[in-house]
Structure 1
Amino acid sequence: MSPRSASVNEELRRRSQARLLEATVELVDQRGYEATTLADIADRAGAARGLVSYYFPSKREMLQSAVHRLMHLELAAALEREPLPADGREQLARAIDAILGLARDRPRLMRTHMAGILTAEGFVQCPEQQKLAMLLRRTVAAYGSHKPDTDYLLLRALLMGAVVAILLPGAPMPPERLRAELFHRYGLEWHQGAPPSAEPPSGAPVLPEG
Protein backbone atom coordinates (compact mmCIF):
# COMPACT_ATOMS: atom_id res chain seq x y z
CA MET A 1 0.00 0.00 0.00
CA SER A 2 1.43 3.36 -1.02
CA PRO A 3 1.74 6.05 1.69
CA ARG A 4 -0.95 8.71 1.91
CA SER A 5 -0.20 12.03 0.25
CA ALA A 6 0.39 15.17 2.28
CA SER A 7 -2.96 16.58 1.16
CA VAL A 8 -4.81 13.46 2.31
CA ASN A 9 -3.07 13.58 5.69
CA GLU A 10 -3.94 17.24 6.07
CA GLU A 11 -7.60 16.56 5.31
CA LEU A 12 -7.66 13.74 7.87
CA ARG A 13 -6.15 16.07 10.47
CA ARG A 14 -8.71 18.75 9.64
CA ARG A 15 -11.60 16.32 10.05
CA SER A 16 -10.19 14.95 13.29
CA GLN A 17 -9.81 18.44 14.74
CA ALA A 18 -13.32 19.37 13.61
CA ARG A 19 -14.80 16.32 15.39
CA LEU A 20 -12.96 17.20 18.58
CA LEU A 21 -14.14 20.82 18.47
CA GLU A 22 -17.73 19.77 17.78
CA ALA A 23 -17.59 17.34 20.70
CA THR A 24 -16.22 20.08 22.96
CA VAL A 25 -19.11 22.40 22.13
CA GLU A 26 -21.69 19.67 22.66
CA LEU A 27 -20.34 18.44 25.99
CA VAL A 28 -19.61 21.80 27.58
CA ASP A 29 -23.05 23.01 26.49
CA GLN A 30 -24.64 19.94 28.09
CA ARG A 31 -22.52 19.35 31.20
CA GLY A 32 -20.53 22.49 31.84
CA TYR A 33 -16.78 23.05 31.66
CA GLU A 34 -15.66 21.41 34.90
CA ALA A 35 -17.77 18.30 34.34
CA THR A 36 -16.31 17.76 30.87
CA THR A 37 -13.00 15.92 30.68
CA LEU A 38 -10.60 15.58 27.79
CA ALA A 39 -11.32 11.85 27.82
CA ASP A 40 -15.04 12.61 27.45
CA ILE A 41 -14.32 14.82 24.46
CA ALA A 42 -12.11 12.22 22.79
CA ASP A 43 -14.73 9.53 23.38
CA ARG A 44 -17.55 11.67 21.94
CA ALA A 45 -15.41 12.48 18.90
CA GLY A 46 -14.37 8.85 18.39
CA ALA A 47 -10.73 9.83 18.66
CA ALA A 48 -7.74 8.61 20.62
CA ARG A 49 -7.16 10.47 23.89
CA GLY A 50 -3.63 11.38 22.81
CA LEU A 51 -4.94 13.34 19.81
CA VAL A 52 -6.51 15.91 22.11
CA SER A 53 -3.20 16.88 23.69
CA TYR A 54 -1.48 16.65 20.31
CA TYR A 55 -3.75 19.26 18.73
CA PHE A 56 -4.54 21.50 21.72
CA PRO A 57 -2.25 22.66 24.56
CA SER A 58 -5.05 22.80 27.17
CA LYS A 59 -8.76 22.24 27.66
CA ARG A 60 -9.33 25.99 27.95
CA GLU A 61 -7.63 26.70 24.63
CA MET A 62 -9.56 23.84 23.07
CA LEU A 63 -12.82 25.37 24.26
CA GLN A 64 -11.93 28.79 22.88
CA SER A 65 -11.10 27.26 19.51
CA ALA A 66 -14.35 25.27 19.59
CA VAL A 67 -16.50 28.31 20.36
CA HIS A 68 -14.71 30.48 17.81
CA ARG A 69 -15.37 27.76 15.24
CA LEU A 70 -19.05 27.69 16.21
CA MET A 71 -19.26 31.48 15.93
CA HIS A 72 -17.53 31.41 12.55
CA LEU A 73 -19.89 28.75 11.22
CA GLU A 74 -23.00 30.51 12.57
CA LEU A 75 -21.88 33.81 11.07
CA ALA A 76 -21.04 32.22 7.72
CA ALA A 77 -24.44 30.50 7.62
CA ALA A 78 -26.21 33.79 8.38
CA LEU A 79 -24.34 35.64 5.64
CA GLU A 80 -25.02 32.87 3.12
CA ARG A 81 -28.71 32.45 3.97
CA GLU A 82 -31.14 32.94 1.07
CA PRO A 83 -32.00 35.49 -0.07
CA LEU A 84 -28.41 36.65 -0.04
CA PRO A 85 -27.76 40.04 1.58
CA ALA A 86 -28.41 42.88 -0.84
CA ASP A 87 -25.87 45.20 0.75
CA GLY A 88 -23.37 45.65 3.55
CA ARG A 89 -25.97 46.96 6.00
CA GLU A 90 -27.90 43.69 5.78
CA GLN A 91 -24.66 41.77 6.21
CA LEU A 92 -23.85 43.69 9.39
CA ALA A 93 -27.37 43.16 10.73
CA ARG A 94 -27.04 39.41 10.18
CA ALA A 95 -23.61 39.38 11.84
CA ILE A 96 -24.93 41.09 14.96
CA ASP A 97 -27.91 38.73 15.12
CA ALA A 98 -25.72 35.65 14.70
CA ILE A 99 -23.49 36.51 17.67
CA LEU A 100 -26.26 37.75 19.96
CA GLY A 101 -28.26 34.64 19.02
CA LEU A 102 -25.54 32.39 20.39
CA ALA A 103 -25.58 34.23 23.71
CA ARG A 104 -29.37 33.89 23.86
CA ASP A 105 -29.59 30.26 22.75
CA ARG A 106 -26.43 28.77 24.33
CA PRO A 107 -25.90 30.73 27.53
CA ARG A 108 -23.89 28.09 29.41
CA LEU A 109 -21.45 27.62 26.55
CA MET A 110 -21.00 31.33 25.85
CA ARG A 111 -20.72 32.25 29.55
CA THR A 112 -17.97 29.68 29.95
CA HIS A 113 -16.23 31.00 26.86
CA MET A 114 -16.31 34.60 28.04
CA ALA A 115 -15.15 33.62 31.52
CA GLY A 116 -12.12 31.94 29.99
CA ILE A 117 -11.24 35.00 27.95
CA LEU A 118 -11.48 37.24 31.02
CA THR A 119 -9.16 35.09 33.13
CA ALA A 120 -5.38 35.25 33.18
CA GLU A 121 -5.29 32.81 30.25
CA GLY A 122 -6.77 35.55 28.11
CA PHE A 123 -7.65 35.61 24.45
CA VAL A 124 -6.33 32.73 22.37
CA GLN A 125 -5.18 33.52 18.85
CA CYS A 126 -5.98 30.36 16.87
CA PRO A 127 -6.95 29.48 13.28
CA GLU A 128 -10.65 29.36 14.21
CA GLN A 129 -10.50 32.82 15.77
CA GLN A 130 -8.74 34.11 12.67
CA LYS A 131 -11.51 32.77 10.44
CA LEU A 132 -14.09 34.55 12.58
CA ALA A 133 -12.04 37.75 12.48
CA MET A 134 -11.77 37.56 8.69
CA LEU A 135 -15.56 37.27 8.31
CA LEU A 136 -16.22 40.16 10.69
CA ARG A 137 -13.61 42.32 8.98
CA ARG A 138 -15.12 41.51 5.57
CA THR A 139 -18.56 42.41 6.90
CA VAL A 140 -17.34 45.77 8.20
CA ALA A 141 -15.69 46.49 4.85
CA ALA A 142 -18.92 45.63 2.99
CA TYR A 143 -20.79 47.95 5.35
CA GLY A 144 -18.64 50.76 3.99
CA SER A 145 -15.85 51.20 6.51
CA HIS A 146 -12.78 53.02 5.24
CA LYS A 147 -10.76 51.62 8.16
CA PRO A 148 -11.89 47.99 8.40
CA ASP A 149 -8.90 46.90 10.49
CA THR A 150 -9.75 49.27 13.33
CA ASP A 151 -13.53 49.33 12.84
CA TYR A 152 -13.61 45.54 12.96
CA LEU A 153 -11.93 45.67 16.39
CA LEU A 154 -14.58 48.11 17.61
CA LEU A 155 -17.38 45.87 16.34
CA ARG A 156 -15.79 42.88 18.06
CA ALA A 157 -15.55 44.81 21.33
CA LEU A 158 -19.17 45.94 21.11
CA LEU A 159 -20.37 42.40 20.41
CA MET A 160 -18.31 40.98 23.28
CA GLY A 161 -19.73 43.63 25.59
CA ALA A 162 -23.27 42.81 24.50
CA VAL A 163 -22.70 39.08 25.03
CA VAL A 164 -21.39 39.73 28.55
CA ALA A 165 -24.39 41.94 29.30
CA ILE A 166 -26.82 39.23 28.12
CA LEU A 167 -25.09 36.60 30.25
CA LEU A 168 -24.38 38.66 33.38
CA PRO A 169 -25.58 36.54 36.33
CA GLY A 170 -28.24 38.27 38.38
CA ALA A 171 -28.55 41.33 36.15
CA PRO A 172 -28.84 40.28 32.50
CA MET A 173 -29.81 42.76 29.80
CA PRO A 174 -32.54 41.69 27.35
CA PRO A 175 -30.97 40.68 24.00
CA GLU A 176 -33.65 42.66 22.15
CA ARG A 177 -32.67 45.91 23.85
CA LEU A 178 -28.98 45.36 23.17
CA ARG A 179 -29.79 44.54 19.55
CA ALA A 180 -31.72 47.79 19.25
CA GLU A 181 -28.79 49.77 20.67
CA LEU A 182 -26.31 48.18 18.27
CA PHE A 183 -28.63 48.62 15.30
CA HIS A 184 -29.14 52.27 16.18
CA ARG A 185 -25.39 52.83 16.48
CA TYR A 186 -24.80 51.44 13.00
CA GLY A 187 -27.88 52.97 11.39
CA LEU A 188 -29.63 49.65 10.78
CA GLU A 189 -33.38 49.12 10.50
CA TRP A 190 -35.04 46.83 13.06
CA HIS A 191 -36.49 44.61 10.30
CA GLN A 192 -33.04 43.81 8.90
CA GLY A 193 -31.19 40.62 9.81
CA ALA A 194 -33.32 38.18 11.82
CA PRO A 195 -35.51 40.39 14.04
CA PRO A 196 -36.81 38.62 17.18
CA SER A 197 -40.08 40.56 17.00
CA ALA A 198 -42.02 42.75 14.60
CA GLU A 199 -41.19 45.93 16.54
CA PRO A 200 -38.28 46.99 18.76
CA PRO A 201 -38.82 46.87 22.54
CA SER A 202 -40.47 49.84 24.22
CA GLY A 203 -38.03 52.64 24.95
CA ALA A 204 -35.37 51.36 22.58
CA PRO A 205 -33.70 53.85 20.22
CA VAL A 206 -35.04 53.90 16.69
CA LEU A 207 -33.87 55.58 13.51
CA PRO A 208 -35.70 58.77 12.61
CA GLU A 209 -38.22 58.56 9.81
CA GLY A 210 -36.75 59.27 6.40
Structure 2
Amino acid sequence: MSPRSKEQFEEIREASQRKIFDASLELFGTKGYEATSIALIAKKAGISKGLIYNYFDSKEALLQAMVDDLVSVGDDMIEKIWSDDPAKTLENLIQSIFEWFRQNENLNRLLIGLSTQVGKFQFVHDMAKGKMDGYLIMLEGLLQEIGFEDYQTEARILGTLFDGIALHHMLMKEDYPLDEVERMLIKKYCMKP
Protein backbone atom coordinates (compact mmCIF):
# COMPACT_ATOMS: atom_id res chain seq x y z
CA MET A 1 0.00 0.00 0.00
CA SER A 2 1.45 3.37 -1.00
CA PRO A 3 1.73 6.20 1.51
CA ARG A 4 -1.15 8.64 1.66
CA SER A 5 -0.82 11.92 -0.17
CA LYS A 6 -1.23 15.33 1.43
CA GLU A 7 -4.65 15.60 -0.27
CA GLN A 8 -5.77 12.25 1.19
CA PHE A 9 -4.74 13.34 4.69
CA GLU A 10 -6.67 16.57 4.22
CA GLU A 11 -9.77 14.64 3.09
CA ILE A 12 -9.50 12.37 6.14
CA ARG A 13 -9.08 15.40 8.39
CA GLU A 14 -12.10 17.15 6.88
CA ALA A 15 -14.23 14.00 7.17
CA SER A 16 -13.23 13.58 10.83
CA GLN A 17 -13.99 17.21 11.60
CA ARG A 18 -17.35 16.90 9.86
CA LYS A 19 -18.20 13.86 12.04
CA ILE A 20 -17.22 15.85 15.13
CA PHE A 21 -19.24 18.91 14.02
CA ASP A 22 -22.30 16.80 13.19
CA ALA A 23 -22.22 14.92 16.50
CA SER A 24 -21.58 18.15 18.44
CA LEU A 25 -24.37 19.95 16.65
CA GLU A 26 -26.88 17.22 17.42
CA LEU A 27 -25.84 17.01 21.07
CA PHE A 28 -25.47 20.76 21.66
CA GLY A 29 -28.83 21.28 19.95
CA THR A 30 -30.69 18.61 21.94
CA LYS A 31 -28.87 18.42 25.30
CA GLY A 32 -27.33 21.90 25.41
CA TYR A 33 -23.72 22.99 25.43
CA GLU A 34 -23.15 22.61 29.17
CA ALA A 35 -24.64 19.09 29.37
CA THR A 36 -22.57 17.81 26.45
CA SER A 37 -19.12 16.40 27.21
CA ILE A 38 -16.26 15.68 24.82
CA ALA A 39 -16.69 11.99 25.73
CA LEU A 40 -20.35 12.12 24.67
CA ILE A 41 -19.42 13.83 21.38
CA ALA A 42 -16.75 11.19 20.70
CA LYS A 43 -19.20 8.38 21.38
CA LYS A 44 -21.84 9.94 19.12
CA ALA A 45 -19.27 10.52 16.34
CA GLY A 46 -17.86 7.00 16.70
CA ILE A 47 -14.33 8.26 17.28
CA SER A 48 -11.93 8.56 20.21
CA LYS A 49 -11.80 11.52 22.60
CA GLY A 50 -8.13 11.82 21.69
CA LEU A 51 -9.00 12.47 18.05
CA ILE A 52 -11.26 15.35 19.08
CA TYR A 53 -8.46 16.81 21.20
CA ASN A 54 -6.12 16.33 18.23
CA TYR A 55 -8.25 18.89 16.36
CA PHE A 56 -9.59 21.07 19.19
CA ASP A 57 -7.97 22.12 22.48
CA SER A 58 -11.29 22.23 24.33
CA LYS A 59 -15.05 22.02 23.98
CA GLU A 60 -15.13 25.81 23.69
CA ALA A 61 -12.54 25.68 20.86
CA LEU A 62 -14.76 23.14 19.11
CA LEU A 63 -17.76 25.45 19.53
CA GLN A 64 -15.76 28.37 18.15
CA ALA A 65 -14.75 26.32 15.09
CA MET A 66 -18.40 25.40 14.55
CA VAL A 67 -19.44 29.06 14.77
CA ASP A 68 -16.68 30.04 12.32
CA ASP A 69 -17.90 27.32 9.94
CA LEU A 70 -21.43 28.64 10.25
CA VAL A 71 -20.30 32.16 9.37
CA SER A 72 -18.79 30.91 6.12
CA VAL A 73 -22.03 29.05 5.30
CA GLY A 74 -23.99 32.28 5.87
CA ASP A 75 -21.61 34.25 3.67
CA ASP A 76 -22.00 31.66 0.88
CA MET A 77 -25.78 31.87 1.19
CA ILE A 78 -25.69 35.66 0.80
CA GLU A 79 -23.58 35.42 -2.35
CA LYS A 80 -26.08 33.01 -3.96
CA ILE A 81 -29.18 35.16 -3.40
CA TRP A 82 -27.95 38.31 -5.14
CA SER A 83 -29.88 39.71 -8.13
CA ASP A 84 -29.88 42.99 -10.05
CA ASP A 85 -33.41 43.58 -8.72
CA PRO A 86 -33.38 44.47 -4.98
CA ALA A 87 -36.91 43.10 -4.48
CA LYS A 88 -35.86 39.77 -6.00
CA THR A 89 -32.71 39.72 -3.84
CA LEU A 90 -34.83 40.26 -0.72
CA GLU A 91 -37.29 37.59 -1.83
CA ASN A 92 -34.38 35.18 -2.37
CA LEU A 93 -33.04 36.08 1.08
CA ILE A 94 -36.38 35.44 2.78
CA GLN A 95 -36.78 32.12 0.96
CA SER A 96 -33.22 31.09 1.91
CA ILE A 97 -33.77 31.96 5.56
CA PHE A 98 -37.02 29.99 5.70
CA GLU A 99 -35.37 27.03 3.97
CA TRP A 100 -32.64 27.27 6.60
CA PHE A 101 -35.30 27.13 9.34
CA ARG A 102 -36.79 24.00 7.77
CA GLN A 103 -33.50 22.14 7.33
CA ASN A 104 -31.43 23.08 10.38
CA GLU A 105 -33.41 22.33 13.54
CA ASN A 106 -30.45 21.38 15.73
CA LEU A 107 -28.35 24.28 14.52
CA ASN A 108 -31.21 26.68 15.18
CA ARG A 109 -31.53 25.28 18.72
CA LEU A 110 -27.81 25.77 19.27
CA LEU A 111 -27.88 29.34 17.96
CA ILE A 112 -30.90 30.27 20.05
CA GLY A 113 -29.29 28.67 23.10
CA LEU A 114 -26.03 30.53 22.51
CA SER A 115 -27.87 33.80 22.02
CA THR A 116 -29.24 33.49 25.55
CA GLN A 117 -25.69 33.01 26.87
CA VAL A 118 -23.98 35.65 24.75
CA GLY A 119 -22.09 37.00 27.77
CA LYS A 120 -20.49 33.60 28.37
CA PHE A 121 -18.78 33.35 24.99
CA GLN A 122 -17.14 36.58 23.85
CA PHE A 123 -16.42 35.14 20.39
CA VAL A 124 -20.16 34.46 19.89
CA HIS A 125 -20.99 38.04 20.84
CA ASP A 126 -18.28 39.44 18.55
CA MET A 127 -19.30 37.24 15.62
CA ALA A 128 -23.01 37.95 16.09
CA LYS A 129 -22.50 41.70 16.37
CA GLY A 130 -20.24 41.86 13.32
CA LYS A 131 -22.48 39.71 11.16
CA MET A 132 -25.73 41.30 12.33
CA ASP A 133 -24.37 44.80 11.69
CA GLY A 134 -23.44 43.73 8.15
CA TYR A 135 -26.78 42.03 7.50
CA LEU A 136 -28.63 45.06 8.83
CA ILE A 137 -26.77 47.35 6.42
CA MET A 138 -27.59 44.95 3.59
CA LEU A 139 -31.29 44.88 4.55
CA GLU A 140 -31.38 48.67 4.85
CA GLY A 141 -29.90 49.04 1.36
CA LEU A 142 -32.36 46.60 -0.18
CA LEU A 143 -35.38 48.17 1.52
CA GLN A 144 -34.23 51.66 0.54
CA GLU A 145 -33.86 50.58 -3.11
CA ILE A 146 -37.29 48.93 -3.01
CA GLY A 147 -38.74 52.25 -1.83
CA PHE A 148 -39.44 51.93 1.89
CA GLU A 149 -39.53 55.39 3.46
CA ASP A 150 -38.20 54.39 6.89
CA TYR A 151 -35.95 51.62 5.57
CA GLN A 152 -33.69 51.63 8.64
CA THR A 153 -36.52 50.85 11.07
CA GLU A 154 -38.04 48.35 8.64
CA ALA A 155 -34.68 46.55 8.43
CA ARG A 156 -34.55 46.24 12.22
CA ILE A 157 -38.14 45.01 12.32
CA LEU A 158 -37.45 42.41 9.63
CA GLY A 159 -34.31 41.18 11.42
CA THR A 160 -36.27 40.88 14.67
CA LEU A 161 -39.03 39.01 12.86
CA PHE A 162 -36.52 36.45 11.59
CA ASP A 163 -35.29 35.87 15.14
CA GLY A 164 -38.82 35.50 16.49
CA ILE A 165 -39.88 33.20 13.67
CA ALA A 166 -36.87 30.96 14.33
CA LEU A 167 -37.80 30.72 18.00
CA HIS A 168 -41.49 30.05 17.36
CA HIS A 169 -40.73 27.47 14.71
CA MET A 170 -38.31 25.73 17.08
CA LEU A 171 -40.91 25.65 19.85
CA MET A 172 -44.00 24.80 17.80
CA LYS A 173 -42.40 22.72 15.01
CA GLU A 174 -45.04 21.62 12.46
CA ASP A 175 -47.75 23.58 14.30
CA TYR A 176 -46.11 26.86 13.29
CA PRO A 177 -47.44 28.21 9.95
CA LEU A 178 -43.99 28.67 8.40
CA ASP A 179 -45.14 28.65 4.75
CA GLU A 180 -47.87 31.21 5.43
CA VAL A 181 -45.51 33.53 7.30
CA GLU A 182 -42.92 33.24 4.52
CA ARG A 183 -45.51 34.22 1.88
CA MET A 184 -46.68 37.16 4.01
CA LEU A 185 -43.16 38.53 4.46
CA ILE A 186 -42.45 38.28 0.73
CA LYS A 187 -45.71 40.08 -0.02
CA LYS A 188 -45.05 42.78 2.58
CA TYR A 189 -41.39 43.48 1.88
CA CYS A 190 -40.68 42.48 -1.70
CA MET A 191 -43.32 44.55 -3.43
CA LYS A 192 -42.88 48.30 -3.69
CA PRO A 193 -44.93 50.12 -1.04
Distance in 2 separating the partners of 1:114 and 1:64: 14
State how many pairs are aligned.
Answer: 157
Alpha-carbon contact 2:95-2:182 (below 8 Å) kept: no
Distance in 1 separating the partners of 2:161 and 2:82: 24
**What is the 5 A alignment of 1:63-74?**
63-70=63-70, 72-73=72-73
Q: CA deviation at 1:115?
A: 4.3
**What is the 5 A alignment of 1:27-106?**
27-70=27-70, 72-73=72-73, 76=76, 86-87=83-84, 89=86, 90-91=88-89, 93-95=91-93, 98-99=96-97, 106=105
1:199 aligned onto 2:184: yes
- Cα separation, partners in 2 of 1:165 and 1:100, compared to 1, 3 Å: same
Alpha-carbon contact 1:29-1:108 (below 8 Å) kept: yes
Structure with the greater relative contact order (CA < 8 A, sep ≥ 6): 1 or 2? 2
Which residue is equivalent to 2:2? 2
Which residue is equivalent to 2:115? 114
- Cα separation, partners in 2 of 1:53 and 1:164, compared to 1, 3 Å: farther
- Cα separation, partners in 2 of 1:67 and 1:50, compared to 1, 3 Å: same
- Cα separation, partners in 2 of 1:160 and 1:35, compared to 1, 3 Å: farther
Letter in 2 for 1:28: F
Give 5+ residue unaligned stretches, structure 2.
143-155, 168-178
Per-residue CA deviation, residues 128-156 of structure 1 (Å, 9 max, x unaligned), is: x8xxx8xx89xx6xx89xxxxxxxxxxxx
Alpha-carbon contact 1:22-1:66 (below 8 Å) kept: no
Q: CA RMSD for the aligned pairs? A: 4.6
What secondary structure sits across from 1:199 in the alignment? helix
What secondary structure sits across from 1:34 in the alignment? coil
Which residue is equivalent to 2:147? none
Tell me which moved more, 57-66 or 101-110: 101-110
- Cα separation, partners in 2 of 1:95 and 1:7, compared to 1, 3 Å: same
- Cα separation, partners in 2 of 1:98 and 1:198, compared to 1, 3 Å: closer
- Cα separation, partners in 2 of 1:52 and 1:67, compared to 1, 3 Å: same
Q: TM-score, normalised by structure 1?
A: 0.51
Distance in 2 separating the partners of 1:198 and 1:166: 13
- Give the fraction of aligned pairs with identical amino acids, expressed as a percent: 30
Letter in 1 for 2:109: R
- Cα separation, partners in 2 of 1:56 and 1:195, compared to 1, 3 Å: farther
Q: TM-score, normalised by structure 2?
A: 0.55
- Cα separation, partners in 2 of 1:79 and 1:114, compared to 1, 3 Å: same
Q: CA deviation at 1:92?
A: 5.1
